[in-house]
């Protein structure tokens, strides 16, 4: 299958591209490398140094069993995007190419406006190009579990069947996104739903949980293929950040009470979920939603698990509760469905203590790169 | 009360500004006059010729019982907007300044991207400025009943209390917006809800029905104060367009079967609803939603009413069913709550045959301006 991976230079996009390529799919990545500019803007860097996009692509081309290529394209530039898609003629487009950090979107007005316009315009451009050039192509869009917020009822996969005043309908699940970034994803979801209905496009929205882990089988095949590892307060996600904090003898920084419960997924399952979605496409006109996570943890659960794994490595890993920089409930009901990908064949890698120990060990091996001044929360929601 | 009316040069904004000013409120309008550029782009014009913004403002300043001023500002320009709001220090901001035509948003990709970025960025700028400069100001935002789509259950005012699997929550009403324009309003609503929650801002979202009518008491006080009257396929709304079609001996153009049912409101009630919202502000942190319409009609109902009124004026007014350029259900359940504004004192002007006759007579008086080539649908959803 010809699969285009937008955002293919990123933390999820790169290992997904390599995994699908290694499985024999004809893969192209498309990226403007802007994620690397945000590192410079914020004075941060991946804990594991990564080569340029050109270098890692050149290296993978030595390993790939089938042709693999890269497009340097900004998705806000319609003409560039038209040219790439016209040339590659993808059968599936996996769309990761968005600003994906909630704190980054909350830095200030400029970052909020950038996040929303960048994400919305890129996705709108893609939808119009699919309609014009590849109308049968399957869009696989990365959403986030965060779109749902924390309602006091069960979270379903995209839709909710509601009985009300004696009548029934199945409607889009009501969303309560908790940041300018999460809002941009909700806007995308509405736009894509409309495009499927009006233009008969086919799309799968993958509401992904918080991703943890670093490497996959393919990113380990050569040092130049390594995945990035973010631990800073803006782009680092909770479990990865805790592991780096443990490695650096820094306290594990839990925001507020730590009762915030979320869905989590190993990067090794992310790449598999994408393949499952691609191999089982949505029907023409269908806007399908899968919740892409494998387990639920509270932030406190995670901190406890990291502390326990760290102790086995003779690290104390003190847990510290910080004032919460976010506006969110710290104790709440949370129960979210996530059966559709499993029904299609996902065999989850559930979080083991050995996984956490290996993440801490990766961090220890790169200890010289840890910038402790980039760990404490620098962006407030208020 | 000091009230800023963004989009104050438009079809709803202008009569609202005059009404509130005439009631003794200190009003400023803020507009970039871009609506007039869209007329030029599409080769259309208000059926009733309107003077420049400067001329109509100068004229109203002769009638206004209190100071009245105007800012020529593009809401996408943060600095301009900051300056205006810093100077005027509004206690309420009535935000009409958005691209408000569904067909305009569906012309092509450029118009979709423009509509969404224009509407979203203007509203985001406003929210950030309120947070920084006038945090106690009450935002009164114009949404649309179209945001809800046509669900098979009752439509409530913004929120829905859902019982599900033995648990209960009151969640944002699920939205199914039917155009790129309607989508932009849903995006705005989510953004504003988040700002109220995170920053303790106060906002009222007025999901307005289709507005009909032309003049108000104030716009009739001098010819230079007249309101605009749109009848073309892009900016004209159904009832107004039917009246012009009747006046021009053109068939009344019903899209599809005509079973599409919507909420409607007289422009005279629009201005009163805004006043009611301003006089009864939302609480800090509250995102309140009112459905702002007074009656439900199907498009076929309206065509029949216009035909009947036209007959009394000795006009035949043949009804013609056109292929529907939109993607929408033509027969559906529709029942929407609209009690909150009535509870706060709205006394609706319900649609009378004499109203319709007066609209047809206005159209007849301006018959020389009718461009019949601008009536048939020119924009397809597909």
pLDDT tens by residue, B18-64: 999 999 999 999 999 999 999 999 999 999 999 999 999 999 999 99
- What pLDDT is attached to residue A216? 98
Min distance B199 CA to chain A CA atoms (Å): 6
Interchain pair A177, B165: CB under 8 A: no
SS3 string of chain B? CEEEEECCCCCCHHHHHHHHHHCCCEEEEEECCHHHHHHHHHCCCCCCCCCCHHHHHHHHHHHCCCCEEEEECCCCCHHHHHHHHHHHCCCEEEECCCCCCHHHHCCCHHHHHHHHHHHHHHHHHHHHHHHHHCCCCEEEEEEEHHHHCCCCCCECCCEEEEEECCEEEEEECCCCCCCHHHHHHHHHHHHHHHHHHHHCCEEEEEEECEEECCCCCCCCCCHHHCCCCCCCCCCCCHHHHHHHHHHCCCCEEEECCCCCEEEEEEHHHHHHHHHHHHHCCCCCCCEEEEEECCEEEEHHHHHHHHHHHHHHCCCCCCEEEECCCCCCCCCCCCCECCCHHHHCCCCCCCCCHHHHHHHHHHHHHCHHHCCHHHCCCCCCCC
How does residue A214 score in pLDDT terms, banded at 50, 70 and 90? very high
Residues of B in Cβ contact (< 8 Å) with A179: 194
- Residues B22/B62, Cβ–Cβ less than 8 Å: no
Examine the predicted complex and report whether its ipTM is higher than 0.95.
yes
Q: Kindly list the averaged pLDDT for each block of 10 residues, start to end, along chain B of length 382.
A: 98 98 98 98 97 98 98 98 98 98 98 98 98 98 98 98 98 98 98 98 98 97 98 95 97 96 98 98 98 98 98 97 96 98 98 98 96 95 94
Interchain pair A152, B167: CB under 8 A: yes
| Ramachandran area for residue B206 (φ above 0: left; ψ -120 to 50: alpha; else beta) | beta
How does residue A376 score in pLDDT terms, banded at 50, 70 and 90? very high
- Residues A22/A221, Cβ–Cβ less than 8 Å: no
Residue A197 a catalytic site member: no
Min distance A128 CA to chain B CA atoms (Å): 6
Two tokens, residue B354: 């004499």
- What pLDDT is attached to residue A35? 98
- What pLDDT is attached to residue A227? 98
Residues of A in Cβ contact (< 8 Å) with B151: 169, 171
Interchain pair A327, B198: CB under 8 A: yes
Q: B235: closest CA among B18, B66, B47, B23? A: B47
Two tokens, residue A122: 């890129």
Interchain pair A180, B194: CB under 8 A: yes
The single residue of A141, A175, A185, A305 carrying the catalytic annotation is A185
- Residues B154/A164, Cβ–Cβ less than 8 Å: yes
Min distance A91 CA to chain B CA atoms (Å): 22
Q: Using alpha carbons only, how large is chain A's radius of gyration in Å? A: 20
Residue B197 a catalytic site member: no
Interchain pair B167, A154: CB under 8 A: yes
A73-84 pLDDT, tens digit per residue, is: 999 999 999 999
Between CA B297 and CA A268 the distance in angstroms is 54
Interchain pair A186, B191: CB under 8 A: no
For residue A69, what are the β-bridge partners?
A28
- What pLDDT is attached to residue B30? 98
Mutate to test the interface with A, among B190, B329, B332 (most CBs of A within 10 A): B190
Residues of A in Cβ contact (< 8 Å) with B175: 172, 190
Interchain pair A327, B174: CB under 8 A: no
A111-136 pLDDT, tens digit per residue, is: 999 999 999 999 999 999 999 999 99
Between CA A150 and CA A182 the distance in angstroms is 13
Mutate to test the interface with A, among B113, B287, B334 (most CBs of A within 10 A): B113
Residue A212 a catalytic site member: no
The separation between the first and the last C-alpha atoms of chain A, rounded to the nearest angstrom, is: 46
Two tokens, residue B157: 């005012």
What is the sign of the dihedral through the CA atoms of B151, B154, B158 and B162? negative
Count CB-CB contacts under 10 A for residue A256.
18
Q: Which of B116, B153, B164 lies closest to A120 in CB terms?
A: B116
Q: Which of A152, A187, A382 lies closest to B187 in CB terms?
A: A187
Residue of B nearest to A161 (CA): B164
- Residues A53/A31, Cβ–Cβ less than 8 Å: yes
Domains and CATH numbers, chain B: 2-374 (3.40.50.720)
Report the pLDDT averaged over residues A160-180: 98
Cα separations (Å) of A362 from A186, A214, B96? 34, 9, 54
Two tokens, residue B13: 């904004």
- CB contacts < 8 A (A, B): 136
Residues of B in Cβ contact (< 8 Å) with A198: 327, 381-382
Q: B173: closest CA among B203, B142, B201, B205? A: B205
Residues of B in Cβ contact (< 8 Å) with A289: none
For residue B255, what are the β-bridge partners?
B322
Two tokens, residue A31: 């990226």
The four Cα atoms B343, B349, B353, B357 give a dihedral, to 10 degrees, of -160
Interchain pair B198, A162: CB under 8 A: no
Residues of B in Cβ contact (< 8 Å) with A190: 175, 177, 183, 186-187
Between CA B51 and CA B227 the distance in angstroms is 10
Phi, psi of A269 (to 5 degrees): -85, -30
∠ CA(B234), CA(B120), CA(A11), 5° rounding?
125
SS3 string of chain A? CEEEEECCCCCCHHHHHHHHHHCCCEEEEEECCHHHHHHHHHCCCCCCCCCCHHHHHHHHHHHCCCCEEEEECCCCCHHHHHHHHHHHCCCEEEECCCCCCHHHHCCCHHHHHHHHHHHHHHHHHHHHHHHHHCCCCEEEEEEEHHHHCCCCCCECCCEEEEEECCEEEEEECCCCCCCHHHHHHHHHHHHHHHHHHHHCCEEEEEEECEEECCCCCCCCCCHHHCCCCCCCCCCCCHHHHHHHHHHCCCCEEEECCCCCEEEEEEHHHHHHHHHHHHHCCCCCCCEEEEEECCEEEEHHHHHHHHHHHHHHCCCCCCEEEECCCCCCCCCCCCCECCCHHHHCCCCCCCCCHHHHHHHHHHHHHCHHHCCHHHCCCCCCCC
Interchain pair B187, A121: CB under 8 A: no
- What pLDDT is attached to residue A98? 98
Min distance A352 CA to chain B CA atoms (Å): 31
Two tokens, residue A372: 């402790």
Largest CA distance in chain B: 64
Min distance A336 CA to chain B CA atoms (Å): 12
| Cα-to-chain-centroid distance, residue A352 | 21
The single residue of A71, A181, A212, A231 carrying the catalytic annotation is A181
- What pLDDT is attached to residue B66? 97
Residues of B in Cβ contact (< 8 Å) with A187: 116, 120, 183, 186-187, 190
- Residues B115/B25, Cβ–Cβ less than 8 Å: no
Q: A155: closest CA among A143, A147, A163? A: A147
Between CA B199 and CA B134 the distance in angstroms is 12
Residue with tokens 């649908």: B377
Min distance B245 CA to chain A CA atoms (Å): 29
Mutate to test the interface with B, among A75, A107, A111, A183 (most CBs of B within 10 A): A183
Residue of B nearest to A162 (CA): B162
A348 by Cβ neighbours in 10 Å (0-12 / 13-18 / 19+) ranks as: middle
For residue A77, what are the β-bridge partners?
none
Interchain pair A128, B117: CB under 8 A: no
Residue of A nearest to B127 (CA): A109
Q: Which of A154, A176, A382 lies closest to B172 in CB terms?
A: A176
Interchain pair A177, B194: CB under 8 A: yes
Strand pairing report for A252-255 and A319-322? parallel
Residue with tokens 């309602």: A151
Q: Which of A108, A162, A175 lies closest to B190 in CB terms?
A: A175
What is the sign of the dihedral through the CA atoms of B119, B124, B129 and B130? positive
Q: A212: closest CA among A229, A232, A226? A: A229
Between CA A216 and CA A229 the distance in angstroms is 12
Report the pLDDT averaged over residues A46-59: 98
- Residues B101/B148, Cβ–Cβ less than 8 Å: no
A24-40 pLDDT, tens digit per residue, is: 999 999 999 999 999 99
Min distance A274 CA to chain B CA atoms (Å): 27
Between CA A254 and CA A321 the distance in angstroms is 5
Q: B32: closest CA among B104, B81, B88? A: B81
Q: Which of B153, B179, B197 lies closest to A327 in CB terms?
A: B197
The single residue of B144, B216, B253, B270 carrying the catalytic annotation is B144
Two tokens, residue B357: 């006759």
Between CA B63 and CA A15 the distance in angstroms is 68
Between CA B376 and CA A339 the distance in angstroms is 49
Q: A162: closest CA among A147, A174, A176? A: A174
């Amino acid at each position: 299958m010809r699969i285009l991976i937008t955002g293919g230079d990123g933390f999820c996009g790169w290992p997904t591209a390599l995994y699908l390529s290694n499985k024999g799919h004809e893969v192209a990545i498309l990226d403007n490398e802007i994620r690397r500019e945000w590192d410079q803007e914020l004075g941060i860097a991946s804990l594991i140094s990564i080569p340029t996009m050109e270098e890692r692509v050149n290296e993978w081309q030595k390993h790939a069993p089938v042709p693999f290529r890269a497009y340097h394209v900004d998705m806000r530039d319609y003409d560039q995007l038209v040219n790439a898609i016209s040339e590659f003629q993808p059968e599936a487009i996996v769309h990761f190419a968005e600003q994906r950090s909630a704190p980054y979107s909350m830095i200030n007005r400029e970052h909020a406006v950038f996040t929303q316009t960048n994400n919305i315009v890129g996705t709108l451009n893609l939808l119009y190009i699919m309609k014009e050039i590849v109308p049968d192509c399957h869009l696989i869009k990365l959403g986030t579990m965060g779109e749902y917020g924390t309602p006091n009822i069960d979270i379903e996969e995209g839709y909710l069947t509601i009985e009300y005043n004696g009548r029934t309908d199945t409607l889009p699940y009501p969303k309560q996104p908790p940041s300018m970034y999460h809002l941009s994803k909700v806007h995308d979801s509405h736009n894509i739903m409309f495009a499927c209905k009006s233009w008969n496009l086919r799309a799968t929205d993958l509401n992904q949980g918080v991703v943890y882990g670093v490497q996959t089988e393919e990113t380990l095949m050569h040092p130049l293929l390594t995945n990035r590892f973010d631990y800073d307060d803006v782009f680092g996600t909770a479990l990865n950040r805790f592991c780096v904090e443990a490695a650096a003898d820094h306290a594990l920084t839990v925001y507020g009470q730590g009762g915030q419960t979320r869905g989590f997924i190993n990067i090794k399952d992310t790449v598999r979920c994408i393949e499952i979605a691609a191999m089982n496409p949505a029907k023409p006109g269908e806007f399908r939603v899968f919740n892409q996570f494998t387990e639920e943890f509270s932030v406190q659960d995670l901190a406890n698990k990291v502390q326990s794994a760290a102790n086995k490595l003779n690290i104390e890993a003190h847990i510290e509760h910080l004032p919460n920089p976010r506006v969110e409930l710290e104790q709440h009901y949370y129960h979210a469905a996530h059966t559709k990908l499993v029904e299609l064949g996902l065999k989850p890698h559930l979080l083991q203590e050995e996984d956490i120990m290996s993440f801490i060990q990766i961090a220890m091996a790169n200890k010289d790169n840890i910038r402790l001044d980039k760990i404490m929360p620098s962006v407030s929601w208020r």
